[in-house]
Amino acid sequence: MSVQIGAEAPLITPGDFPGWIIHEDEHLLVVNKPGLIVCHPSKNGPWSSLVGAAREYLGLPTVHLVFRLDRETSGVVVMAKDSATASKLQKATQQRLIGKIYLAILTGQLAQPVTVDQSLGPDPDSCVTIRSKVVAAGTPGAQAAVTHFVPIANASGFTLARVRLETGRKHQIRAHALWLGYPVVGDKLYGPDESLYLEFAQHGWTERHATLLPLSRQALHCAEIDLRPAREPHVFRAALADELAQFCRERMGIATDGIG
């Protein structure tokens, strides 16, 4: 899908939506969300969000988002068609019974697997109120957070890594990657200058973005959601998004076929 890189999230073309579906049954709708598509409904109509598009596609008044992804993150999104299924999976998520695997392209060459066990909390010094940072346990707002980074390949100053979450804090992978010194490629908030985030929100993609960021969106992709620990017989997978695979080929010289 071709989208305009701007402050407003792109509208979803109704004909594209069925092609994003990974799995559908009487209880679940699972899709491979492109980057730049928002999950939650917006004021711009049903086709301006993943949930709105799902409601239109299914003809249902309500669709429950079990786990969300940031606008710029691509990959597996699970939605429930009924409140009972949604409640069950949301409780399983809170109990850390849902397995989540991401693929991320990091700035810098990470040589060895590493686990980050560092609390995250609001950044009082940030100009952006939603930004998190690593904080000491016991700090007001601190929440325990554990992320496992495993390099798959590294070349030309970048690393393609598989990332497994034990917790699900806001911006956890991105904040932990920055703390490690290997920020996610293309990250406007946790990258070289957080003011790029505000500038993008106001003006869309600018020349300064193109100068400072090697990719137009953050290189983060939800590759797998495993519901089996929650006693559901499903593992949902999505291959690395095309634009991220292209970055790996052209900037790193590596093929990503079969990586998920």
Catalytic positions are 70
Kindly state the tokens that stand for 245.
């695979």
Rounded to the nearest 10°, the torsion over CA 44, 203, 3, 175 is -100
Query: How far is residue 141's CA from residue 156's CA, in Å, rounded to a whole number?
Result: 38
Sequence letter at residue 90: Q
Give the HSE-up count for residue 133: Cα atoms under 13 Å, Cβ half-sphere.
Answer: 16
Query: How far is residue 23's CA from residue 258's CA, in Å, rounded to a whole number?
Result: 19
Question: Nearest CA to 64 among 48, 87, 43, 47?
Answer: 87
Burial of 132 (0-12, 13-18, 19+ CB in 10 A): buried
Rounded to the nearest 10°, the torsion over CA 167, 169, 173, 175 is -130
Structural contact between residues 241 and 74, judged by C-beta atoms closer than 8 angstroms: yes
Q: What is the DSSP letter of 229?
A: G
Rounded to the nearest 10°, the torsion over CA 180, 182, 183, 185 is -160
Radius of gyration of the chain (CA): 18
Adjacent-strand bridge partners of 220? 104
